[in-house]
Amino acid sequence: MVRLGILLRRRGQAARALTLTLKFAGGTSWEKTRRLPEPSAHDDDLRVLAYQLMDAAGLQRGRLTGLALKGDDLVDADQAAEQISLDGAREARLVAEAAIDRGRDKFGPGIIGPATVFRRAS
């Protein structure tokens, strides 16, 4: 979900919907698409919808062999309306997301996570 958000933001796009495709050992597959309330490329928005899609799959004991999450009905990010929010925590996460994106652009994809590499300051 984070990778999808990163790719959308780097391309200057926002998704209006997400499609989850699951492939099972017997060769069967399951696919479900859900729309976002508004176009978004933010990790939190994509994560919430992806979890809803996973819940809708109702996975029990099936042997899952493949999983794909795809952004659908893409629009330019500047066409996506940005609502004013009174949710301070969400606003802080969006500011942090932008800062993390700038760090990834400057230092590489390993800036956040267990594989973080520290480089000497030049």
Nearest-CA neighbor of 97 among 87, 86, 112, 75? 112
User: What pLDDT, in 10s, does the model give residues 8-17?
Assistant: 888 888 899 9
Share of residues in the chain with pLDDT > 70 (%): 82
How much is the average pLDDT of 32-45? 89
The alpha carbon of residue 68 and the mean position of all alpha carbons in its chain are separated, in whole angstroms, by 12
Q: How confident is the model at residue 115 (pLDDT cuts 50, 70, 90)?
A: very low
Q: Which residue has the tokens 């978004």?
A: 40
CATH superfamily of 2-84: DNA polymerase, Y-family, little finger domain (3.30.1490.100)
CA distance 70 to 19: 5
Q: Coil, strand or helix: which one is 60?
A: coil
